[in-house]
Amino acid sequence: MKRKKWKRVLRCLLPGLSIFSMAVTAVAGEIKPEERIPMYDREKLEEVLGQIEGMEVKMETQEKDRSEDEIQPYASAGETVTSTVLKKGIGSIEMIRYTDNGWENLKSWQEGLLGLTNGDWAYCADPNQTYKSGQKQCYNAADFYSEETIKTIGMMFYFFDTRVKCEGMSKESEYLIKQCIVWSVLDHVNGWLPGITLEYGNGLNDGAGHGLAGHMAYAVYDGAVWAADAKNREDFFCKGILMKGSGQDLAQWSYEYRPKGTVSLKKVSANPEVTDKNKSYSLQGAEYGVYLDESCKQQAGTLTTDENGISGEQFLQAGTYYIKELKTPKGYARDTVIHKVVLERGKDTILTVSDHPQLNPVEIVLEKADQDTSAKQPIGAAEFEGAEFQVKYYGGYYEEDPEKQGKKPLRTWTLKTDEKGIARLTEQQKVSGDPFYQTSEGEIGLPLGTITIQETQAPKGYLRNEETIVTRIRPSGEEERVETYSIPVVKETVIRGDLQIVKYAKKTEYVEELYGKGISSEKGKEEADEAVKASENNEEEKKKETDGKETVDAESRIPLAGIIFRITSEETGECWDITTDENGIATTKQLKLCERGNLVYGTYIISELNPPKGYHRIDPFEVMISENQETLSYQVENEQILTMVKLVKKDAVSGKIIPAAKARFQLLDQDKQAIPLKESVETDESGSFTLTQKLKNGIYYFRELTAPYGYLKGEDVKFEIQTEESMKSEKKNQSEAGNEAKEENKTDEAETVVVEFKDVPVMGRIEILKTDATTGKGVPDTTLEILAAENILSGDGTLVAKTGDGIETLTTGKDGKAKSKELYLGKYKIKETKAKAGYILKQEDYLVELKYKDQDTPLVTEKVTIENEPITDIPGVSVKTGDLFEIFPYIAACILAGGMILRQWKRKGR
């Protein structure tokens, strides 16, 4: 509605109001008006408001992009709200006309506190209409009033809130004064009440003793003057909501005071792949100075980031500023860029900056050294190459292995050492693992935090180092590149062992007499020579020595003292000498090089330096130290080398080791006579044993006394021990019916003869008899399936079938019988899958267990008899085996027909 039209309407209303006022005066009697001072000058107020350009009523509404609204009043445009009177009769508002002849009260009324059902206040936006509670539609006030009109109301509200309102003022008075502010501004643009002064609080004080009339005048007039100031208006952004519906319009108004521009900072990581979820880095605590000059000497403020890298706002006058990092956050390099920003009045400026996380470029992760020598090179035949280390990286700093605290590594790599024992953080030496971290320049490096290093595979000749190395990479300086990683030296413990040689001579009449006097091989050489010559000339003695059936036991041997054996490293050429004592024993423990063992991992050549007179020098033989703290023991007797023998039990079918203990054996000589041993011979849990007594050259047999569970007792196994020299002179075909030994018969001192003793597993068979449940006769053509009722394992632990696996499908013959193939021992289930025509399919399953009987029974048999019920024929219906369900419709039809006949019979009976 145009302004002139409103004025015409009001001119029509004013006489009526005057008449109404006069009528009230007449009723009340002739009372002289008292003197009254205006709260503010109405004309001057109009002048002040008239100075604000752009205050007007919009004649047409237009839809606006509400997403751009920066300030929201209580309600939102587009909402439907419910209005109500929050409190009735909170105070009286008067419409006063002042003239040269005095004043006239045109109207006064008790105002109510209007609002929404949620308790929010709302102000009358059209005093010409009667208020009605109920639903109203919300609109943006900018669709009806200009921005300057809305801003004026918002600024006068701000003036009231910050300069007028005091502690003694009640909420009701606050509401009524703000209501008068709304009417005063809207009356100015609408022309509702020309010449009328709105007044509230004449003669009333607030709780602090202040006159409400003074507050009213200060809020309306002085507030308008302050709001009309152009500089003040630059600092405000205001919004309004009009609520339209039945009855008078309501409104809500809000303001935001933005006297300056704001600048804030957002810091991000330049390498989030390194910093995300990493406790070693934090965006919190970065400090940036805000400066007026580019040289950053005149500081105007400070921006400090929180844990999200976001700083608070810095309010500054519009203009150009320079921002420089003063303090880096945890784990980041200094941002050296000076950032230029331009602040605009009333606008927020957000500067986004990025910092590079500090990393330690690392190539060498670790180096290896020998534990005994501390040298960074291996000893003996051992090697540094090929050791594998697992490197785990954790965000955060830990003194102990974080894995023990339940922490999970952010990344893990497995690295392999080169020939120098160096593990590098390179793709070439990475066995497996995650991608490497990289600096901004593409260098592979380790972020700040903690890494653990643990050896997972030892190199050749060394023991695995079980220590977990924990090392930390800490920040240093303000550059992206740091060098705080200390390369650990992992010391490796070389495998060490010892060698023991027992030197004997065959006891003869003369040698026994000589050595019985305690004369060693270094003493009385002449006597020894004479004894040997005498022995050689003695035909009986010579015959005894050449007797192939002779067995030499401990009582027929004499230890030889003073025999020197030289031990030479095949890898390094180093050599050591050991000498037999009075017991004929020479050991490397005499060298006293190391308590863990005097020979390091490697191959050694053993040679005899001073054989006793009358004996041939032994051929040099080779030994290998390969197990830590093992002692290799060899008995050397007249060029004879006693050999260790190991027996391994194997399955004759699968060829795998039978891991069963307590399988007992007996050692036989070439005539199959029992050789007495110092202890019983039986397998351990690994399915093997090694004879504690070494054997000389010859033919032997192993005889099984007790087979392991599930196996038949095996036949005797023949094996032969031969030295290379004896093999050159004689080659024999080692083959016999039955079992054959796997013989490593080219023996030398360091080798062990391994004899494979194979046993045949005991098998089982299931025999099934299908019979007619009525006649007892065999039922042919019945199909049955044998299923594994449990995991079926062979004697060597191999999984033959899983529970539920089908094993075999059988069909009964004319006699109703069926036999399974040979099965491994265990529990099986018999399931009938197809019955013979004319018989009911058996629904239940039968459980059968094939059990081991003894080591002499090769096949165990379990018999099962299963009865089948014949199907009774139904006249006119042909029933096939397995099709029992097809006769159900006929049965149902019969039952239904019978029921209908019975029902008709009952009805007739009634």
Percent of the chain with pLDDT over 70: 81
Closest CA to 7 of 195, 180, 224: 195
Instruction: Yes or no: say if 376 and 369 are a contact pair by the CB < 8 Å rule.
Output: yes
With helix as H, strand as E and coil as C, how does 173-193 read?
HHHHHHHHHHHHHHHHHHCCC
pLDDT band, very low/low/confident/very high, at 721 (cuts 50, 70, 90): confident
The packing angle between helices 509-516 and 525-537, to 10°, is 160
pLDDT of residue 748: 41
List Cβ neighbours of 343 (8 Å cut-off, separation of 6 or more). Answer: 260, 261, 262, 263, 316, 317, 318, 319, 320, 321, 349
Contact 305, 325 (CB under 8 A): no
CB count within 10 Å of CB 863 equals 12
Q: What does the pLDDT read at residue 75? A: 81
d(CA 436, CA 446): 8
Mean pLDDT score, 362-380? 89
Architecture of domain 642-759: Sandwich (2.60)
- Contact yes or no for 114/106 (Cβ under 8 A): no
Given phi > 0 = left and psi -120 to 50 = alpha, else beta, which region is 781? left
Bridge partners (DSSP) listed for residue 340: 322
What token pair was written down for 653? 């079918």
Interacting residues of 814 by C-beta distance below 8 A, sequence separation 6+: 778, 780
For 201-210, write each residue's pLDDT tens digit: 988 999 999 9
Tell which residue, 105, 92, 97, 93, has the closest CA to residue 22.
105
3-state SS string for 828-853: EEEEEEECCCCECCCCCCEEEEECCC
Of the candidate CATH numbers 1.10.150.110, 3.30.70.260, 2.60.40.10, 3.90.960.10, the domain formed by 359-494 belongs to 2.60.40.10
The residues near 893 (Cβ < 8 Å, ≥ 6 apart) are none
Please report which confidence band the pLDDT of residue 43 belongs to, taking 50, 70 and 90 as the band edges.
confident
Q: Which of 459, 469, 332 is nearest to 399 (CA)?
A: 469
- Give the residue-averaged pLDDT of 488-498: 91
Report pLDDT for 820.
Answer: 92
Cα angle, residue 435 at apex, residues 430 and 441 outer, rounded to 5°: 105
For 34-45, what is the mean pLDDT? Answer: 79
Q: Looking at domain 763-868, which of 2.160.10.10, 1.10.287.1120, 3.30.365.10, 2.60.40.10 is its CATH number?
A: 2.60.40.10
Query: Per-residue pLDDT tens for 678-711?
Result: 777 899 999 899 998 888 778 999 999 999 999 9
Interacting residues of 255 by C-beta distance below 8 A, sequence separation 6+: 71, 154, 155, 157, 158, 236, 237, 238, 239
Beta carbons of 256 and 240 less than 8 angstroms apart: no
How do residues 57-95 score in pLDDT, each as one tens digit? 875 444 444 333 445 567 888 899 999 999 999 999 999
For residues 151 and 181, the answer to whether their CB atoms sit within 8 Å is no
Of 788, 781, 812, nearest to 802 by C-alpha is 788
The tokens of 776 are what? 């007892």
Residue whose C-alpha is closest to residue 274's, from 468, 480, 484, 476: 480
- HEC profile for 234-247? CCEEEEEEEEEECC
The token duo for 633 is: 């023991």
Q: For 778-819, what is each residue's pLDDT tens digit? A: 999 999 999 999 999 988 888 989 999 999 999 999 999 999
Q: Is 155 left (phi over 0), alpha (psi -120 to 50) or beta?
A: alpha
Residue 672 and residue 711 in contact, taking contact as beta carbons nearer than 8 Å = no
- What pLDDT sits at residue 200? 93
Say how far apart CA 218 and CA 204 lie, in whole Å. 15
Compute CA distances 467 → 70, 221, 390, 715, whole Å: 62, 85, 12, 50
Q: What is the structure's pLDDT at 296? A: 95
Strand 717-723 with 746-747, pairing: parallel
Q: Are strands 826-834 and 783-788 parallel, antiparallel or unpaired?
A: antiparallel
pLDDT digits (tens, 9 = 90+) for 12-37: 343 333 333 333 333 333 334 456 77
Taking residue 129's Cβ as centre, other Cβ atoms within 10 Å add up to 12
Contact 347/261 with Cβ under 8 angstroms? yes
Residue in 550, 459, 464 with CA at minimum distance from that of residue 507: 550
Beta bridge partners of 232: none
pLDDT at residue 885 in the model: 46
Tokens describing residue 407: 């922490």
Give the mean pLDDT of 342-368: 90
**How many CB atoms lie under 10 A from the CB of residue 615?**
19
Residue 99 burial by CB count (10 A; 0-12/13-18/19+): exposed, middle or buried?
Answer: exposed
**Rg of the chain on CA atoms, in Å:** 55
Q: For residue 157, is pLDDT > 70? A: yes
- Give 727-771 pLDDT, tens digit per residue: 443 443 333 334 444 443 444 444 789 999 999 999 999 999 999
Whether domain 497-540+553-637 has CATH 1.10.3720.10? no
Mean pLDDT of all residues belonging to the chain = 82
Give the Å distances, CA to CA, from 106 to 5, 89, 656, 839: 22, 19, 118, 114
Q: How far apart are CA 328 and CA 287, in angstroms?
A: 7
The reply to whether 261-355 and 642-759 are identical in fold is: yes
Write down the pLDDT at residue 57: 84
Calculate the alpha carbon distances from 49 to 153, 216, 239, 487, 660 in Å: 11, 17, 19, 79, 108
User: Regarding the domain with residue range 261-355, which homologous superfamily does it belong to in the CATH classification?
Assistant: Immunoglobulins (2.60.40.10)
Element (H, E) at 799: strand 799-801
Residues 310/295, Cβ–Cβ less than 8 Å: no
Q: Report domain extents, the chain.
A: 3-257, 261-355, 359-494, 497-540+553-637, 642-759, 763-868
* Higher-confidence position of 517 and 122: 122
Torsions phi, psi of 391, nearest 5?
Answer: -110, 125
